[in-house]
Amino acid sequence: MRKMICLHGFTPEQQEQVRAIAAPPEWEVVFGKASEIDPQHFRDAEVVCGWSSNVVKETLHSQSKLRWVQGWSAGVDKLPLEKLEQHGVLLTNASGVHPKQMSETAFALLLGLTRNIHQAVRNQQARHWDPSGSYGEIHGKIIAIIGAGEIGVEIARLSKAFGMRVLGVRRSGKPAEFVDHMVDLNGLNGVLAQSDIVVNVLPSTDETKWLFDEARFDQFKQGACFINVGRGATVKTDALVAALQDGRVASAGLDVFEAEPLPEDHPLWTLGNVILTPHIGGATDRYNERAVSLFLDNLTFYLNGQLNEMINRVDYKKNY
């Protein structure tokens, strides 16, 4: 009997959908939290949907039966990619589940900073009426989307509703819908110099680590706003703090950080031109619904032997 483990809160209806595709007696499907599942199930598992340290501990050994892991997030930087590749494990991620909520998070941060909502909330907590401050608008601005994949293109689509000119940066440099001008990473500095708003949606890879460092922030247009909903490791935090303190970057909306949780004594907490959210950009009450739908599609491909048709196959050489 082949075995599959599904770790992420499948409803009874979703469990039946999985069993309808991977039917007994050929398949045994185990649902539950990793901490509550017998380790023997992990040792016998061919497929794991979701992730847990138990996957490494119990499956990645010389007699491993593991053949496919369906990740539950778009990023895979926290998974042991080298070990998975060594064992020939097919890895797919949940890219495509995030564009709606991630784009809303990016705009929530951007609009909050532009309309000075963050200061109004602080004043509300202090019961202090103060209409003074700087109030901008985003209509007609130039926005740069760094990492113009599915999330980036959705941000671009929404940007058009605000009448913005959209510049994009992606590894391939290939054009994308709603993006007025696209370049590859070699054109990044030129894009930064033109842009009023810079939105980072890049994954964490060897190529993107600390891409935004001191030299990069020096390329920003004076008064630009920086939004990071990609990965914290793409930004050299000390360089960002310095740029925010000396005005090279006017404001920042940050959902991700190099160190998470952000240390209590970190200067980002107290900067008045920053909005912080605790890495919740991908959170939504629709997440499991979308992720399970993706998994069911991939499960059908997997069982039919159509591995090349599976959605979001991770390239171990690129780490995404």
213-217: Cβ within 8 A, 24+ apart? 213/239, 214/239, 214/242, 214/243, 216/188, 216/189, 216/192, 217/242, 217/243, 217/248, 217/249
Q: Burial level of 212, CB count in 10 A (0-12/13-18/19+)? A: buried
Residue 290 is a catalytic residue: no
The amino acid sitting at 69 is V
Ramachandran angles phi, psi of 6, nearest 5°: -120, 120
What is the tally of helices (H) and strands (E) in the chain? 11, 12
Q: Do residues 158 and 164 touch, judged by C-beta distance below 8 A?
A: no
CA-wise closest residue to 302 among 135, 134, 92, 114? 92
Looking at residue 309, the DSSP 8-state letter turns out to be: G
57, 31 in Cβ contact below 8 A? Answer: no
Give, as one character, the DSSP assignment of residue 98: S
Contact 249, 113 (CB under 8 A): no
For residues 277 and 104, the answer to whether their CB atoms sit within 8 Å is no
| CA-based torsion, 137, 140, 144, 148: positive or negative | positive
Of the residues 16, 260, 289, 309, which is catalytic? 260
Among residues 8, 41, 118, 231, the one annotated as catalytic is 231
Active-site annotation holds for 16: no
170 included as an active-site residue: no
- Cα(157)–Cα(170) distance, integer angstroms: 16
The residue annotated as part of the active site, out of 157, 279, 290, 313, is 279
Q: Is 50 left (phi over 0), alpha (psi -120 to 50) or beta?
A: left
Residues acting as catalytic residues? 231, 260, 279
